Homo-oligomer: A and B are copies of this chain.
Amino acid sequence: MQDHVTPRRVVILGGGFAGLFAARALRRSPVAVTVVDRRAHHLFQPLLYQCASGILSEGQIAQPLRGVLRRHHNVRCVLAEATDVDTGARLVHARRPDGGDLRLPYDDLIVAVGMRQSYFGHDEFAAHAPGMKTLDDALEVRRRIYRAFEMAETAADDRERREWLTFALVGGGPTGVELAGQIREIAGHTLDREFQRIDSANARVLLFEGSDAVLGAFGPRLAHRAARTLTDLGVELRLGTRVTDIDERGLSVRGQDGTTTRVAARTVLWTAGVEAPPVIAALARATGAKQDRAGRVLVEPDLTVPGHPEIRVTGDVMSLNRLPGLAEVAMQSGAYAGRVVRHSVEGRTKQPKPFKYLDLGSAAYIARGRAVVKAGPLHLSGLPGWLVWLFVHLAFLTGFRSRMGAVLSWAVVFVTGSRRERAFNLPEAGASAGRAATPQASAPPP
């Protein structure tokens, strides 16, 4: 900190990839950084589906934000949800978990709140089809997957059994594809020989996608390979379909020919869309910024909000040059925003160069030994794709203590199919069997 001068206050909304990389870019800058997040952890979102499918634990993909930033002595972490921005007073309004209000003054504001699951106006779907954006979502998906097999085992009749053994996934992006592959592997491999009345390998996995390809963002060639790999795994692709209704027994889908079909499935998972959280609408109102259909903020080439050089929007909520909502875009835009603030604090007067995204490629895991990778002219699938996927994910996990644990978990699931993190709760139930509390504290035996 500079001696008697109050340091410049940088408020970062969100502790995901964008927010974390913005804070890191400011590490050696004489500024006072406040990172505000509604969760206390930084989530390694690309592996969320592995938490949902029982390979990794929560702690392996989610680290306490203040632990990650412990050595950043100019950073303060605040557990609260940003609700509004007062651009005149340069204040962020935030709500603590107990409902209490916080006011956080800023000189620079970096917005990195990310996107949340969207049900395209059908929020009533959420109760029957959990999304895949948060740790809570992943645990709910895990519960539904493993519970479905348990319910099938004790089903009253064949029809009910078939319904419990049918999994419908809505959305053919990376998360949907990864989950579809995982459920097929759980059914055929992990649960092998564990049930008496059902053959878990018979579980059907249906993947519904509105466009005519899964993993469309990877280009037609890899999309085609991914589709073939999924089909080989036994995943039934339903492309060009639109979901019109979901309830606890299944869903209705309309095909491209306009006919509506009813699909009985007791497990429906939703990865089909995203939308900006409410604070972004508040920001747009306060600044007059424009938003795209999903609510992202249209930014200038230097990521500022038009007319507000002190506000930068980064990561998934930023709308610029149709950049996709990927971890890499978030990291690079967050780091850019932090760097520009640092340069300004250092007194550099030169206009910053516009943000330029360097596409290092994208990867999606489909099944054991099979992934698709696109990196510039390089298109890989199958085993080569999987090896690159492994390398990239290990590299990005580097900062995390959990890397060793993840490698071990991956090795075990690869070789044996066994998944360690299969425990799930049924919150509607009460207490269960186990060790009693101490005798002297409980009612004494007679």
Query: A residues near B, CB below 8 A?
Result: 14-19, 37-41, 43, 45-46, 48, 54, 57-60, 62-64, 66-67, 70, 76-81, 96-98, 100, 102, 112-118, 120, 131-137, 139, 146-147, 150-151, 153-154, 156, 171-176, 193-197, 209-211, 213, 215-217, 271-275, 277, 292-294, 296, 298, 315-316, 319, 322-327, 330, 401-402, 405, 408, 412, 418, 420-446
Smallest CB gap from A278: residue in B: B430
For residue A392, give the distance in angstroms from its CB to the closest CB of chain B.
14
| Alpha-carbon separation in the docked complex, A57 to B420 (Å) | 10
User: Nearest 6 A-B pairs (CB), nearest first?
Assistant: A173-B438, A325-B436, A116-B431, A114-B433, A16-B433, A57-B57
Residues in B with CB closer than 8 Å to A327 are: 435
Which B residues are in CB contact (< 8 Å) with A275? 442-443
By beta carbon, the residue of chain B nearest A104 is: B154
Q: Determine which of B79, B136, B156 lies in contact with A151 in the assembled complex, contact meaning CB atoms within 8 Å.
A: B79
Whether B441 contacts A98 by the Cβ 8 Å rule is: no
How far in angstroms is the closest Cβ of chain B from A58?
A: 4
- Given A57-B421, A63-B423, 5 more A-B residue pairs with CB atoms under 8 Å apart are A41-B423, A114-B436, A292-B446, A325-B439, A326-B436
CA–CA, A113 and B430, complex, Å: 12
Q: How far is the CB of A391 from chain B (nearest CB, A)?
A: 19
Contacts of A98 in B (CB 8 A): 151
CB pair A435–B39 under 8 Å, yes or no, is no
In the assembled complex, the CB of A19 is this many whole angstroms from the nearest CB of chain B, namely 7
16 pairs of residues in contact across A and B, judged by CB atoms under 8 Å: A57-B57, A58-B421, A76-B196, A80-B154, A81-B429, A116-B431, A116-B432, A117-B431, A120-B443, A136-B425, A175-B438, A211-B440, A213-B440, A275-B443, A293-B446, A402-B420
Q: CA separation between A135 and B436, bound complex, in Å?
A: 14
CB distance from A397 to the nearest CB of B (A): 13
Minimum CB–CB distance for A437 against chain B, Å:
5
A422 and B436 CA atoms in complex are apart in Å by 26
Chain B residue nearest to A440 (CB atoms) is: B216
Using Cβ atoms and an 8 Å threshold, which residues of chain B touch A193? 70
B residues less than 8 Å from A429 (CB atoms): 38-39, 81, 97
Cβ-closest chain B residue relative to A419: B59
Q: Which residues of B contact A150 (CB under 8 A)?
A: 40, 79, 97
Q: Which B residue sits closest to A328, measured CB to CB? A: B435
Residues on B with beta carbons closer than 8 Å to the beta carbon of A62: 423
Given contacts A114-B432, A430-B116, contact A70 B194 (CB under 8 A): yes
Q: Judging by beta carbons under 8 Å apart, are A156 and B274 in contact?
A: no
In the bound complex, residues from chain B placing their C-beta under 8 Å from that of A147 are 40, 79, 97
In the bound complex, do residue A435 and residue B46 qualify as a contact, i.e. CB atoms below 8 Å apart?
Answer: yes
A78 to B197, CA, bound (A): 11
Option from B38, B57, B423 in Cβ contact (under 8 Å) with A135 = B423
Contact (Cβ within 8 A) B136 A435 = no
Contact between A319 and B445, CB atoms less than 8 A apart: yes
Query: Which of B58, B316, B405 is within 8 Å of A435, CB to CB?
Result: B316
* Cβ contacts under 8 Å, A17 to chain B: 434-435
With the chains together, A417 CA to B293 CA distance in Å?
47
